[in-house]
Structure 1
């Protein structure tokens, strides 16, 4: 087999040269399109189901949310196991699929099962799927540097301006906001006044909800002009909430301000985000979508951030606190330097030991061709150019030239031996 292959190659040297050139060109193209990341993604193939039911203890969350979801999500095709975690007001269910399961197919299967499982949950509780990212999907963290602006205003800019802009970048799965205060109207009910007016907290809640909506009417025509009738009833200020009637006592309406205090404040927080011990900050985390090129996504996000910054208030700017592109560049640069150094050293060793430039040249040419061809296989198996895969290629350079050195040395030795056996007149 090997002898036939060698004989065929010797008889068709031009064909072998064309095949080698084609593989090298294909490999160079594969190097350009290969996805780049700093570290390999070894996370499990999972789908996260998140459910929020604020104000409930972990035990209630476990009994009424997590347990029904876990038991109903078991038995899905290609599922290895299902894990659940319950905490104050929140439930997390992790559905782990086989490694060869396609991630978006898995999300569809989970979503189909949730359509049934949602009927087993308490009223008003809706489970949602987590982002289609992975455990190493956090590629960039940033904060908003805004001197003189309070945390509530910064969080509003982050949630209603920055988040929507950056989330539209190709390859971004989610943009998670952190820090600051999320503004809300807060109504503090006086229990003594509720008892005095014979009211319950539920009646107050229903009254506020009934007065915070918009109703549609119908269309009518007058003088060949069409009009659409609607009523706008959304609450827009503290005074509007205070003047909502809850009950009528002796023809006198009992308003919200008679039984409660209304104020604009921040939502209750379970933690803060502090930077360098200098105080609280507001920012976001960019989560990359599954299977995307981390280097390209980070560059696209940074380009979009430059556009977004043009709409900031005077003095506000982005402050990047974690950027994986630096690690990517350093990792790739280090491996590239190592590859070049190893190629030079191996080439010198081959030339010195063989001391035959044609044999050395044939062996040295194998190095770039083999390295370029290896990227074809990396793309075929969906492996990114990271510190692990590139290190493996660097370690394999010595093995790449071993076969060439052995074959060239053996051929040179046999030819020399055959030449020495010839008669003097035949030489």
Structure 2
């Protein structure tokens, strides 16, 4: 039956809390109230289909048999409630097409582990279609987690998650892979300043840009217009990075993006690329500020709009000296940072991502696109880490993800 849905989430009943709106919408206020009290602390599920329809799924033992046919459809030990007869028939067709007549959550391997988690504790499972629907324009940056399964737990105002993400369907992964067990909460990243709305650090830029850089529509202009050929793309993709989005109290933009990358290879080659970028910026009406002569400002290039009398910096780049590779510091909509904020870029390749964000502020500034769940959009703090599920590489393409949200007071 799981094949019929793109997103499934399990919830724990709590008669002390108000009846969920989905229960009232699918069952009617009076029946929903009665069943909610009878539900106690048993699990129930909400599932979404590809057409956006939300279904309520309840244990069959909760609903009297004579009542089931009036508003629901039974599959094994579960009862699925849709909005109308048409959606119930469409659901039945999808289940039949998937050759999954059983109403229990049953599969094999990692997918079985995920469905077992859904059947036993608060969890969430999503597919690539669900991720695309929820994340909107951010979807190309999230392809490492096209499909995933997380166990959830709420401790006070902190919502924690722990599980597995993958670029391919979970059922196509090795049978020996299992959801990770709970350990301590994700390690707290180093604090960021009040103007940083989002910070992402990773062991390889390809972890977030790999999908974009693999597309010909991106590769061709990079090579033809800027001289960034396959060799340079490979070098930069494998480089560690630190990216942060910072709010701006004044200027043309409400926020600016800063990126730092230790650049491997011949520095002269990358300076040629930057010279080409400079030419194209000038051809589009931008002007560069005069370069300073100080040692710390060598290789620094700041850009303004050519018709701006205030000469407000809208971006630029500069080279920072490091012990190993030179560090390229770039600013988009903001001046590039003059000191290194990248941390731990000597860590081994494949060690993943660390993300910190202020979702509520991003939403208030209209900087977070998509249809994210309300707990996320209202959270003041979000942190999570992504790392290989198996450091030995036996489960290549599978990643452990753990993190938490700080929710507002009820």
TM-score (norm 1): 0.21
Bigger fraction of residues in helix: 1
Bigger fraction of residues in strand: 2
TM-score (norm 2): 0.22
Larger Rg over CA atoms: 1
